[in-house]
């Protein structure tokens, strides 16, 4: 398994890399900003991207939208885990709506990171490609009580 790790904090990258190595993941490319991450994606097709919300020059949300909708993206379906200390509801919602696969709050634990990786890689949700959204299905559970006109067939 290969991972692209994007975080401006060198110490956090080292911590996450160490946890990934403990999981047996050795192919980890680390970059300190989103511009370098986009350059890496032109030649490197990781199985997973782990990105901080507040990276520069573009934040993790815009980076995710570029990966999901970008013409030059090698793999728009790649699972993306948003890793951040900004856990207010509007940040979580914005991450979900940008196409992030999983959201993980700092400080991290190995158990929480493993759970997000497992969910993102091995329990993938259906991919949605519509006019207003591209990414994994944002619904986590079935709401059989919803009867509105926006209800999708079979759900």
Q: For residue range 41-54, list pLDDT tens digits in order.
A: 989 999 999 999 99
Terminal C-alpha separation, the chain: 33
The pairing of beta strand 2-6 with beta strand 80-84: unpaired
Task: Name the residue with higher pLDDT: 59 or 69.
Answer: 59
Q: Please check the confidence at residue 136 and state whether its pLDDT lies above 90.
A: no
In this prediction, what percent of the chain has a pLDDT beyond 70?
A: 87
For residue range 87-124, list pLDDT tens digits in order.
Answer: 999 999 999 999 999 999 999 999 999 999 999 998 88
The alpha carbon of residue 38 and the mean position of all alpha carbons in its chain are separated, in whole angstroms, by 14
The mean pLDDT value for 16-40 works out to 96
The residues near 129 (Cβ < 8 Å, ≥ 6 apart) are none
pLDDT at 120: 92
For residue range 75-89, list pLDDT tens digits in order.
Answer: 889 999 999 999 999
| Cis previous bond, 85, omega within 30 | no
Q: Collapsing DSSP states into helix, strand and coil, what is residue 68?
A: helix
Q: How confident is the model at residue 126 (pLDDT cuts 50, 70, 90)?
A: confident
Name the DSSP class of 150. Answer: T
Q: Please check the confidence at residue 35 and state whether its pLDDT lies above 70.
A: yes
Average pLDDT, whole number, for the chain?
A: 89
d(CA 154, CA 144): 10
Q: How confident is the model at residue 8 (pLDDT cuts 50, 70, 90)?
A: very high
């Amino acid at each position: 398994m290969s991972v692209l790790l994007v975080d401006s904090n060198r110490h956090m990258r080292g911590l996450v890399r160490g946890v990934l190595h403990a999981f047996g993941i050795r192919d980890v490319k680390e970059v300190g900003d989103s511009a370098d991450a986009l350059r890496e994606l032109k030649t490197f097709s990781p199985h997973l991207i782990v990105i901080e919300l507040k990276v520069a020059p573009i934040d993790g949300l815009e980076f995710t939208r570029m990966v999901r909708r970008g013409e030059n993206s090698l793999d728009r379906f790649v699972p993306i885990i948003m890793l951040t200390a900004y856990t207010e509801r509007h940040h979580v919602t914005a991450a979900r709506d940008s196409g992030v696969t999983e959201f993980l709050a700092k400080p991290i634990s190995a158990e929480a990171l493993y759970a997000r990786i497992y969910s993102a890689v091995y329990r993938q949700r259906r991919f949605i490609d519509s006019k207003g959204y591209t990414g994994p299905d944002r619904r986590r559970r079935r709401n059989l009580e919803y009867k509105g006109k926006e209800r999708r067939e079979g759900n």
